[in-house]
Amino acid sequence: MIVLVGVAHVIDVAKPIDSLVQHYAPGAVGIELDPGRYRALQEGTPRGKVPIPYRLLAVMQRRLAEQFGGEVGAEMLAAVDAAKARGSQVLFIDMDAGRLFSSLLRQMSLKERVAMVLSSLGGLFMTRRRVERELQEFQDNEERYMETLGRSFPTVKRVLIDERNEHMARNILKAEGLYGSVLAVVGDGHVEGIRRIISREDLVAYRLKDLRDLVLEGPVNNAEASFSFTIGS
C-alpha cells in the first residue's frame, strides 16, 4: 500500500501528518529530505556550503513560515516523530540537496540562472497573502501552473520537479517492497507527478487542501520497524 501526502513547507500541517501516520500505521514513512537536511532541521542550523539560490530559498521559507505561525519542515519532523511512535521505518527518499542544486546551476543557461536568482530575491519579500494566492492558482489548475514553470524555468522544472519525482517514486516503490506499506510526505507539487509515475489505482493521495479538514476513522493496519536510513540513490 502506498499513501502520498502533499504538504507546503511553510504551512503547519504537523497535526494532520501525525493523524495520518497513526491512522495507516505504515511499515515505512518516507520524507522529502536527505539526511543532511534532516539534521539541519533537527538542529535548527543552516546547512554548510550551499549555492546562493538555495540559501535565499531557505531564508524565504523561514520568513513565510513565521507568517503562517509555524516552522519550516515542521511537517517532516512530525512525520518522523509519528513514525517512531508507531515503530515505522523512517526513510529519506529525496536527493542530496547540496549536490542537486550544484548540478542544477551547472546545467542552467546564464539567462535562466540570472532569472532564478532574481526570482529568489523577489521571494524574500513575498507576503502570506501572495503565497495563498499562488497556492490557490496552483490548486485551481496545477497542469497550467507546471507548464508555466516549465516555460520560464525549463531546467528548474526538469531537475527539481521531474527528475526528483522519478527518484522519489523509485524509492517509494522500493520501500513498499521492503516494508509492505509506505506513507510518503512530499511537497504538494510532487504528488501528481509521483502518482502518474507509479500509476496504480490503489494508491491513496492526500493533497494539501485535504489536510485542512482531515477526518479519519480508526486505524488501517499495523507495522513494526526500528531504525532510519537513506533508501536508494
Residue 49 has phi, psi (to 5 degrees) of -90, 115
Give the integer Cα–Cα distance in Å for 124 and 146.
Answer: 22
User: Where are any strands of DSSP class E within the chain?
Assistant: 2-7, 28-31, 89-92, 182-187, 204-206, 228-230
Q: SS3 of 170, please?
A: helix
pLDDT, tens digit, 9 for 90 and up, residues 158-184 = 998 999 999 999 999 999 999 999 999
- The rounded distance, in Å, linking the Cα atoms of 191 and 6 is 6
Residue 169 is predicted with a pLDDT of 97
For residue 52, the model assigns a pLDDT of: 55
pLDDT for 163 equals 95
Q: Kindly report the CA angle at 89 between 85 and 91, in degrees rounded to 5? A: 120
Considering only the C-alpha atoms of the chain, give the largest distance between any 2 of them, rounded to a whole number of Å. 53
185 phi, psi to nearest 5 deg: -100, 115
Q: Which amino acid is at 196?
A: R
Q: Given this model, what pLDDT does residue 71 score?
A: 62
Mean pLDDT by 10 residues, the chain (233 residues): 88 87 94 90 65 54 50 83 93 91 87 76 61 73 83 88 95 96 94 95 91 71 44 51
Tens digit of pLDDT for each residue in 67-98? 445 566 788 899 999 999 999 999 999 999 88
Residue 67's pLDDT is 47
- Cell 501526502 belongs to 5
Give the pLDDT score at 42: 84
Sheet holding 2-7, edge to edge: 204-206, 2-7, 182-187, 28-31, 89-92, 228-230
Amino acid at 226: S
- Bridge partners of residue 2, in order along the sequence: 182
Closest CA to 6 of 157, 168, 220: 168
| pLDDT given for residue 128 in this prediction | 65
